[in-house]
Amino acid sequence: MNPAVGIRPATAGDLDAVECVERRSFPEGEAFTRRQLRYLLTHAQGASYAATRDGAVVGYISLLMRRTAQNLRIYSVAVDPAARGCGAGQALLDAAIALARRLGLREVTLEVRTDNDSAIRLYARNGFRPGKLLRGYYPDGTDARRMSFKTSCGRPE
């Protein structure tokens, strides 16, 4: 992890900053609404983390889990375009994997746009394997690729 990037639990107090990162990271129609972001930060069954640099939120990750499931789903991850390349994406991914391992979960899953080469490379470097192609997954018709990471943990079935 880049020492200049900090990771901490995201809270409702981060809503304005997370919304700004969201708007700068995703095209209109794909970005979560303020209401959706508030829910993810305060009520969703899972966890959210903020990546900070020089005290400012530069990214976030929202993680969802079901009580009976053996996996942690990366529901959303975004790094402000102005902060990309500083290690925030890696730090957020590290936090997700660490949480899954702490909870004894077997797998971390996500969906990624097939045209998001930098994200796909990041996930692949970290051991995520490509899975099912999800045709027309995004509102603009772009496909998604499901990817998964095996944690070497897990409760017996």
pTM for the complete prediction? 0.90
Residue 25: inside a domain, yes or no?
Answer: yes
Residue 10: inside a domain, yes or no?
Answer: yes
What is the tens place of the pLDDT at every residue in 38-60? 999 998 899 999 999 999 999 99
CATH of the domain at 68: 3.40.630.30
Residue 156: inside a domain, yes or no?
Answer: no
Residue 157: inside a domain, yes or no?
Answer: no
Confidence of residue 71 (pLDDT cuts 50, 70, 90): very high
Instruction: Give the residues across from 48 on adjacent strands.
Output: 62
Between residues 2 and 9, the one the model is more confident about = 9
Query: How many folded domains does the chain comprise?
Result: 1
Residue 93: inside a domain, yes or no?
Answer: yes
Which structural domain range is residue 118 located in? 5-150
So what's the pLDDT on residue 88? 97
Residue 155: inside a domain, yes or no?
Answer: no
Residue 17: inside a domain, yes or no?
Answer: yes
How are strands ordered across the β-sheet holding 107-113? Answer: 5-9, 46-53, 56-64, 71-79, 107-113, 144-150, 129-134
Contacts of 33 (CB under 8 A, 6+ apart): none
Residue with the two structure tokens 């990471």? 149
What is the tens place of the pLDDT at every residue in 73-83? 999 999 999 99
Residue 30: inside a domain, yes or no?
Answer: yes
